[in-house]
Homo-oligomer: A and B are copies of this chain.
Amino acid sequence: MDGFPFSQDVRIRFAETDAQGIAHHASYVVWLEEARVAYLAAFAGGYRAIRKRGIEALTTAVHVEYERAAVFDDVLTIHVRCGEIRGARFRYEYVVERDGERMATGWTAHAIVDAETQRPTRVPAWFVEDVVRAEASAGRSPA
Contact = CB atoms under 8 A, between A and B. Distances in A.
How often does this chain occur in the complex, in copies? 4
A14 B29 contact: no
Contacts of A66: 58-62
Interface of A: 13-15, 17-22, 24-26, 29-30, 33-34, 37, 41, 46-48, 56, 58-66, 69, 71-73
Contact of A71 (B19, B25, B62, B63): B19
Taking each of A25, A30, A65, which has the highest tally of chain B beta carbons within 10 Å of its own beta carbon? A25
Secondary structure call for the A interface:
mixed
A71 B19 CA distance: 9
Nearest to A59: B25
Given A71-B19, A73-B37, A14 B61 contact: no
Nearest to A60: B66
Nearest to A22: B19
8 contacts: A14-B37, A18-B19, A26-B29, A47-B72, A61-B66, A62-B63, A62-B64, A63-B64
Given A18-B19, A26-B29, 11 more contacts: A13-B30, A14-B19, A19-B71, A20-B56, A20-B58, A26-B30, A26-B62, A29-B29, A37-B73, A62-B62, A62-B63
Given A46-B73, A72-B47, A73-B46, A62 B25 contact: yes
